[in-house]
Amino acid sequence: MHQLLNYIRSTSLKNRIFFGLSIFCPIAFISKYIFSDNPALIFCTAILAIIPLAAFSTEATESVAQYCGNFFGGFLNSGLGNIAELVFTIVALRRGLINVVKASILGAVTSNVCVGVGLALFFGGLRFKEQTFGEKLAGINAASLTCLTIVILCPSALKISLGSHVMSTTIMRRFSYVSAIILFVLGIVNIIFAWKTHSYLYTADIKRKTITKRRNQAALSMMALDQTPSPLNTPPAPTNNKLTKIYLLIKDISTLILTTILIVCLCQFIVDSLEGAIEKLHISSSFTAAIILPLVSSIIEFVTCISCALKNKIELTIAVTQNSTSQILCFIAPITLAASNLIFYTKSNGEANILLDFDFKSFDLISTIFSVAICNSVLNGNSNWMQGIQLLLAYGTIATGFFYMPF
């Protein structure tokens, strides 16, 4: 206990704030099981408890990325973060909230490409005048994201063009199954591309920084040749203990798993108390599903993006956002579609349940297309704070539209 207090005193102000907010984690559990008749209290404490857990997960993600590369670190962080999104969708399916599930899927995509990237570019641009990253990799990610967006939105586009009187529910459902299979195949293809055949594209920045660091060290060594050797300025011998690296890697992955489990529990608390909080705040279900739930479930990605951008690790930021968006489209959406056929629920009015499909509302479709388009136009190899502001303001406009939706 004494060592923990000394560590808190010696750490930065940001970490002190996170340690202070961590007290809300036990408070959220106490509120859930003791003050269960107060949904607003449960909702607020659960959201505050997620923030420090997301920060702890961020530090572990950066450590994992140092050993395994930016793509794997971003893939692990976004994958664990999307578990919360999967919990939201499954719970909503069990309650028969089909429209909420549809809005949350596209809302998660919009929040990742606009808020995640926008926050990273804005805060990174405030510290660094301009940040650069691989233009080739940015083009590959933009093409992949555009392809995934086309696949998931194509059934809705076909229904809009033909009309609901021509395209029946059965045809829409079958087209949705085909789109889900294609999305899943594209997800597997992306993993093979990034991990196997073209992994060098995702590790090029690490190698470049390593070469630059070695050149700087060589220059310093040449300058030190003219000086008298001294034990004080002799650099320590490098250590390459594989057991130590394995231990640190296991510790970081364990931290990620533990924080993710707690975040999933807190997300469950949020979902359970959400309906009572909505009644008091008078917010529509569309705004809740498309804006509030994706923002809460993506806190891990947002904190990671800001932290990495402030450390000039813009490549890891892009990896987190792109991986999170791809996992939602390639895995969360198909899994949710398949789960709707396995989960049976009973409506309050006794009507038959409705299976999930990719028949999205017009505003959901348009907002997703616009958000992906502006994100792809921004990620062109270099970034600044102005581009971050543009993404955030675009998302603010989309959020305003969902706020004024009456249902």
108: domain CATH number is: 1.20.1420.30
Look at residue 339 and tell me if it is in a domain: yes
Query: What is the average pLDDT across 200-204?
Result: 64
C-alpha closest to that of 339 among 89, 153, 105, 88: 89
Q: Are 58 and 76 in contact (CB under 8 A)?
A: no
pLDDT reported for residue 182: 96
From the number of C-beta atoms within 10 Å of its C-beta (0-12, 13-18, 19+), residue 110 rates as buried
Q: How confident is the model at residue 392 (pLDDT cuts 50, 70, 90)?
A: very high
Q: 346 CB contacts (<8 Å, ≥6 apart)? A: 96, 353
Burial of 233 (0-12, 13-18, 19+ CB in 10 A): exposed
Distance between CA atoms of residues 49 and 61, nearest Å? 19
More confident residue, 293 or 108: 108
Comparing 33 with 214, the larger pLDDT belongs to 33
pLDDT band at 238 (very low <50, low <70, confident <90, very high): very low
Q: Pick the more confident residue, 132 or 71.
A: 132
Q: What is d(CA 90, CA 82) in angstroms, rounded to the nearest whole number?
A: 12
Which residue(s) pair with 383 in the sheet?
Answer: 131
Instruction: Specify if 86 maps to a domain.
Output: yes
Strand pairing partners for 131? 383
The answer, yes or no, to whether residue 227 has pLDDT greater than 90, is: no
pLDDT value at residue 142: 84
Beta bridge partners of 132: 382
Q: What is the pLDDT of residues 3-61, one digit of tens each?
A: 556 655 656 666 677 778 888 889 999 988 888 888 878 888 888 888 788 777 767 76
Any domain includes 238: no
Interhelix angle for 70-94 vs 98-111, to 10°?
A: 160
For residue 7, what pLDDT is reported? 54
Assess if residue 233 is contained within a domain. no
State how many domains the chain has. Answer: 1
C-alpha distance across the termini of the chain, in Å = 51
> What sign does the CA torsion over 293, 297, 298, 299 have?
positive
The mean of the pLDDT values for the chain is 78
Q: Is residue 263 a contact partner of residue 47, using CB atoms and an 8 Å limit?
A: no
User: How remote is the C-alpha of 62 from its chain's centroid?
Assistant: 15
Looking at residue 221, its pLDDT comes to: 46
User: 235 lies in a domain?
Assistant: no
- Does 232 reside within a domain? no
Residue with tokens 């967006």: 149
Task: For residue 284, count other CB atoms closer than 10 A to its CB.
Answer: 16
Structure tokens at 327: 């996992």
Q: How sure is the predictor about 217, in pLDDT bands with cuts at 50, 70 and 90?
A: very low
Six token digits for residue 48 = 């505050």
Whether 35 is covered by a domain: the verdict is yes
Q: Return d(Cα 351, Cα 144) in angstroms, integer.
A: 40
Domain around 107 = 1-221+244-404
Residue 228 lies in a domain: no
Radius of gyration of the chain (CA): 23
Q: Does residue 233 register a pLDDT over 60?
A: no
Contacts of 215 (CB under 8 A, 6+ apart): none
- State how far the Cα of 187 lies from the Cα of 72, in Å rounded to an integer: 14
The pLDDT value given to residue 178: 94
